[in-house]
Structure 1
Amino acid sequence: VKTKAERKEKKMPGIIVGIDGSSHSRRALDWAINEAAIRHAPLTVLTVQQVMRSFWAGPMIYPEDAELAEHARKIAQEETDGALGKLAEDARPPAVTVLAVPGLPAETILDVAKDADMIVVGSRGAGGFKKLLMGSVACQVTHHAHVPIIVIPAEES
């Protein structure tokens, strides 16, 4: 765990949490907020506006993707503000940034979090395959991350 002075000196981004509006990502957001507050670490809330993958190269980003990403950022900001609003001022992280980036979810999370202290994701996202124990994005991130990753499980029923 890096001290506040070490993070400031190295400009560490702190904790990155990926959200997509699902109940799993809301649990990940709550956990990441609490962990960032405990560690006095900055928190970056990241939502990815998924784009198409081209057959020959990486993601295909169109001009309208930036507008869709901004809409996603506003929704993520509202979700983050709601989660922070439940906490006392002294129980919040020192800094919270909300980003929305057009791209491929796992690749984008890994790119944004390459120098992070940790990555937090929900075990499954908004995708369909409910029988999977872990969603495809969480699985890809856990296999390729070069920083610690926390996968928040589904709420027990």
Structure 2
Amino acid sequence: MQTSVPPRVVVGVDGSPSSYAALRWADRHARLIGGAVEAVHAWETPSESGWSGPAIDPDFDLEQARERFAQELGSVFPEGRPAGLTEHLVEGDPSEVLIRASEGAELLVVGHRGGGGFARAMLGSVSQRCAQHAACPVVVVRTEEDSGR
């Protein structure tokens, strides 16, 4: 007897209001389709991505990323994580990490603009790259403030 795997709904979480809205949207959608949410937080070691400044200890960077991710999930789900939510903390460029995570997923959900976005940009660079290159359909979620409401 073959068991069916629930549809995967992958969502990028970067601490921005748009990513919080995307995580809430992904959770609601996954419940509607009987799916499971995979929350993905990508982090980079500054010295490895060409940023100027002294090299930082990668273990310290990992621990900082782990703490940020836990705080972000706790902010969105203060009553506790939903059943079936899995958390993936991955080192690398956020758009590349999310594009890889989209392979085999039912849906990839991202905020329309992350923490580094320009206020007037229609889409952030990560959401734009994901929309162009993901292996599954992509939903770009806007916050109410972003929609001008």
TM-score (norm 2): 0.79
Q: 1:22 aligns with which of 8, 16, 29?
A: 16
The worse-fitting range, judged by mean Cα deviation, of 126-135 and 72-81 is 72-81
Distance 2:59 2:103 in 1: 22
The answer to which structure has the higher helix fraction is 1
- 1:80-99 aligned at under 5 Å gives the runs 80-85=73-78, 92=82, 94-99=83-88
Aligned length: 138
Q: What percentage of residue pairs aligned between the two structures are identical? A: 27
Q: TM-score by structure 1 length?
A: 0.75
The 1-side partners of 2:64 and 2:122 are apart by 30
Q: 1:65 to 1:84 in 2, by over 3 A?
A: same
List, as ranges, runs of 4+ consecutive aligned residues in structure 1 with deviation greater than 6 Å. Answer: none
Q: State the alpha-carbon separation in 1 of the partners of residues 59 and 29 from structure 2.
A: 30
1:101 aligns with 90
**Cα distance, 1:86 vs. partner?**
5.0
Give the deviation of 1:146 after TM superposition: 1.6
Residues 24-69 of structure 1: per-residue CA shift (max 9 Å, x gap) = 1111011111111222211111111035447xxxxxxx99335423
CA distance change for structure 1 residues 147 and 128 in 2, over 3 Å: closer, same or farther?
closer
Query: Quick one: distance in 1 between partners of 2:85 and 2:22?
Result: 15
Unpaired segments of 5 or more residues in structure 1? 55-61
Q: Secondary structure at the match of 2:57?
A: helix
Shift in Å at residue 108 of structure 1?
A: 0.7
Distance 1:16 1:64, change over 3 A: farther
37-46 or 17-26: which moved more?
A: 37-46
Q: What letter is aligned with 2:30? A: A
Partners of 2:99 and 2:49 lie apart in 1 by 17
Cα 1:146–1:128 shift into 2, 3 Å = closer
* Number of the residue aligned with 1:78: 71
**For residue 64 of structure 1, what is the aligned residue in structure 2?**
57
Q: Which runs of 5+ in 2 are unaligned?
A: none
User: How big is the shift at 1:97?
Assistant: 1.2
How far apart in 2 are the matches of 1:66 and 1:100?
A: 13
